[in-house]
Amino acid sequence: MNLPKVLRPSSLRFFLLAASQGVLVSSALAQYGAAPSQTGMFFDDLRMRQVQERAATQSGTRDGDVTYDYDSGVYRDGSNDKMGQRSADYESARELSRPAVRSGSSAYAARSVGDYTNYSGQYTSPTGFFAPTYTSDPFLNGRRNLKLGPINVGFGFFQGLEYNDNVNRSGTDPQSDVISTTLLNIDANYQITQNNRLSLSTAIGFDRYWENPENASYGGTNGLVLNVLPGSTVAFDIKAGPVFFTVYNRFSVRPAARNDFALSQNQMFGVFQNDTGIAANWRINSDWALAVNYMHSFTDSLSEANQGIQGGFDEFNRVTDSLQASLTYSPSSTWVLGFEGGITAVDYETDFNADGVLNNIGAFFVLPIGKTTYLRASAGYQGFKFDNFPEALEIYPDPLVRSGGSPNLSPNQIVENTNDNSDLSDFYYSITLSNRLNSRISQSLSLGHESSLNLTSNYITADFINYGVSMVAWKGSRVNLSAYYEDAEASGGFFAQDVKQYGLDFYISHRLSSRLQLGTGYHYGKTTSISRSSSITPIAQRNIEGEFVQQAFNVDLTYVLSPKATLNFGYRYYTTDVKEDNDLDFDQNRLIIGVNYNF
């Protein structure tokens, strides 16, 4: 039996959602061009980028002077964050002493398994489409800058060392390892002319597995794993009259997981994704605005292990071309009525998954309620059309399959393709309510129903709901509480399954002094997967069914060495309880020490 395998500590993945130019950030995490929520979030980020670029042009470099607000428990730079700007307050407590590339959550969203543009957590990414998913100091939020001639440059550095007593997540043969993590954050821009701006934003580095390099999820046998965090972007912004253009290249190298919900090590693989596009935002008049984006993406798997019938994980290599548009009407610059739609073509390298064309069309509405609450609602239609597979499947004559020997065969070792001939004709909707009760308490509620690409079937449809609250309970503290529920259904074929997940995350931090901060957290998550396939073999059925509970505990201690440097200590404990097979139960302990430095 195989179950999900994303075993990183839980991270709070929600942020303050509100309007800028009448546009509210979307909350669901799914794929650009496939799921309307992610596509809507892209256009929200594009509009916000235009506002930020205009402000940067007028003010030059960003202010690097920050002070710690002891009453609220966060750093302030003397300016008020505009509603709609993604604040570091929500995620700062969780990200202390662990970069996102080595954190995350066992709260693994089934609806986003086919999304290579971000990590597949249950909560929304705290950063935008054009920003990497980790900064070396979440409090300073990349504000430290150097000026090299006409170029503004911000550097942040993280160096971590981790001891992991069960890096292969085994209940019978645990292997320990020492893992080194190095990350360099770069945020640079060059104001070529008053209306032309070139920028680079990235977090790049590597992990090194010292004792058992074969346990690295990708990178070959030397144990060296390259990390280029999602959101790393080179962009050229141009203003031509009322039209704002962004030409961009977005790239990432990160771990991904096959979605037959496996805990076994061989279900992880590395993925390189490159997104090249051009986006335009045209302010037609004071009431109407039109945004359009074309993006060409290609994805390549990087793992050398587990060479199966299809050649490792090459069956997940693909090319997508997407054209999307968003038209908004806001006569009073407060409420917004919008229309969205587009088309995406997906072409897989092998014949394991079906090529297809994805269409979506719908409308959204943004409404401010009072001064501190914003509501965003969207709804529409999704239509997916995929190529058909032949009715007769070729079952590969592997002796283990014939004898019923191995319970850990991956899908590409069993069948020639997914055998899924399902198309989609369905509605989608999403609702997000963001509220700041007062200066100390913020909360966010999001729910929705939508479909997106899947890895072991044509698509997956999910109903989901997330809630999170962040508060300053007393002087110097921050308390984060979040919960999620997801009911997902794969479209069909050999690996059709229903997946239900629910869980909660809790984190509390307290600043003991002006230099020392303590934090502790807890995660609980339960996942149940049931096969719906009538033709699958018993072995394959065992691979995609099961029920398990994961719990995680973590403690963080952060010491401020200087206004630019922090020293971080962390402890993580995981326990996994698999209902059907005690051999898959395992515990894991991690000790982490890290140094952040912002130049």
- Compute the Cα dihedral for 510, 512, 514, 519 and give only its sign: negative
Beta-carbon contacts of residue 211 (< 8 Å; ≥ 6 apart): 175, 176, 177, 178
List, for residues 302-320, the tens digit of each pLDDT value.
865 444 434 467 888 999 9
The amino acid occupying position 552 is A
Whole-number pLDDT of residue 65:
40
- Give the three-class secondary structure for 525: strand
List, for residues 326-364, the tens digit of each pLDDT value.
999 999 878 899 999 999 999 999 888 999 999 999 999
Confidence of residue 543 (pLDDT cuts 50, 70, 90): low
* SS (HEC) of 276-312: EEEEEEEECCCCEEEEEEEEEEEEEECCCCCCCCCCC
Find out whether 198 and 189 touch, Cβ atoms under 8 Å: yes
Beta-carbon contacts of residue 402 (< 8 Å; ≥ 6 apart): none
Find out whether 20 and 82 touch, Cβ atoms under 8 Å: yes
Write down the residue that tokens 């390259």 correspond to. 226
Number of helices (H) and strands (E), helices first, in the chain?
Answer: 4, 25
Instruction: Give the mean pLDDT of the chain.
Output: 75
Find out whether 113 and 460 touch, Cβ atoms under 8 Å: yes
Of 331, 326, 242, 377, the closest CA to residue 46 belongs to 326
Confidence of residue 276 (pLDDT cuts 50, 70, 90): very high
Q: Which residue has the higher pLDDT, 460 or 30?
A: 460
List, for residues 227-238, the tens digit of each pLDDT value.
888 888 999 999
Q: Which residue has the higher pLDDT, 213 or 128?
A: 213
Residue 399 buriedness (CB in 10 A; 0-12 / 13-18 / 19+): exposed
Whole-number pLDDT of residue 464:
93
Confidence of residue 257 (pLDDT cuts 50, 70, 90): low
Find out whether 13 and 123 touch, Cβ atoms under 8 Å: yes
Of 197, 154, 187, 155, the closest CA to residue 56 belongs to 197
Beta-carbon contacts of residue 175 (< 8 Å; ≥ 6 apart): 166, 167, 168, 211, 212, 215
Highest mean pLDDT out of 69-78, 332-341, 424-433: 424-433
Whole-number pLDDT of residue 458:
93
Whole-number pLDDT of residue 268:
67
List, for residues 475-522, the tens digit of each pLDDT value.
888 888 889 999 999 998 888 889 899 988 888 888 898 889 898 888
Whole-number pLDDT of residue 221:
67
Per-residue pLDDT at 60 exceeds 90:
no
- State the Cα–Cα distance between residues 541 and 532, nearest whole angstrom: 9
- State the Cα–Cα distance between residues 471 and 440, nearest whole angstrom: 5
Class of domain 19-598: mainly beta
Q: Pseudo-torsion of CA 8, 257, 490, 119, nearest 10°?
A: 60
Q: Any idea where the domains of the chain sit in the sequence?
A: 19-598
Give the containing element (helix H, strand E) for 316. none
Strand-pair partners of 289: 283, 328
Mean pLDDT, rounded, for 108-127: 71
Write down the residue that tokens 């931090």 correspond to. 509
Provide the residue count of the chain.
Answer: 599
Computed over its alpha carbons, how large is the radius of gyration of the chain?
23
Tell me which of 119-128, 186-195, 536-545 is least confident.
536-545
Per-residue pLDDT at 75 exceeds 50:
no
Tell me the percentage of the chain whose pLDDT exceeds 90: 24
Whole-number pLDDT of residue 62:
41
Beta-carbon contacts of residue 358 (< 8 Å; ≥ 6 apart): 33, 34, 343, 344, 345, 346, 382, 383, 384, 453
Mean pLDDT, rounded, for 385-400: 63
Whole-number pLDDT of residue 166:
86
Tell me which of 4-8, 188-192, 288-292 is least confident.
4-8
Of 358, 291, 350, the closest CA to residue 322 belongs to 358
Beta-carbon contacts of residue 438 (< 8 Å; ≥ 6 apart): none
- Give the three-class secondary structure for 69: strand
Per-residue pLDDT at 451 exceeds 90:
yes
Mean pLDDT, rounded, for 580-598: 83
Find out whether 457 and 426 touch, Cβ atoms under 8 Å: no
Per-residue pLDDT at 541 exceeds 70:
no
- Give the three-class secondary structure for 390: coil
First to last CA, the chain: 48
Residue 147 buriedness (CB in 10 A; 0-12 / 13-18 / 19+): exposed
Whole-number pLDDT of residue 249:
95
Per-residue pLDDT at 111 exceeds 50:
yes
Find out whether 156 and 184 touch, Cβ atoms under 8 Å: yes
Find out whether 252 and 116 touch, Cβ atoms under 8 Å: yes
Report angle CA 422, 427, 431 to the nearest 5 degrees.
Answer: 135
Count of CB atoms situated within 10 Å of the CB of 78: 8
Strand-pair partners of 560: 566
Tell me which of 9-23, 63-77, 568-582 is least confident.
9-23
pTM greater than 0.75 (yes/no): yes
**In the chain, what is the greatest distance between 2 CA atoms, to the nearest angstrom?**
71
Report angle CA 337, 339, 342 to the nearest 5 degrees.
Answer: 160
Write down the residue that tokens 């991956």 correspond to. 410
Mean pLDDT, rounded, for 425-434: 93
Per-residue pLDDT at 542 exceeds 90:
no
Whole-number pLDDT of residue 536:
55
Q: For 520, how many CA atoms within 13 A lie in the half-sphere containing its CB?
A: 2
Six-digit token pair at 576? 């996994």
Report angle CA 502, 472, 511 to the nearest 5 degrees.
Answer: 105
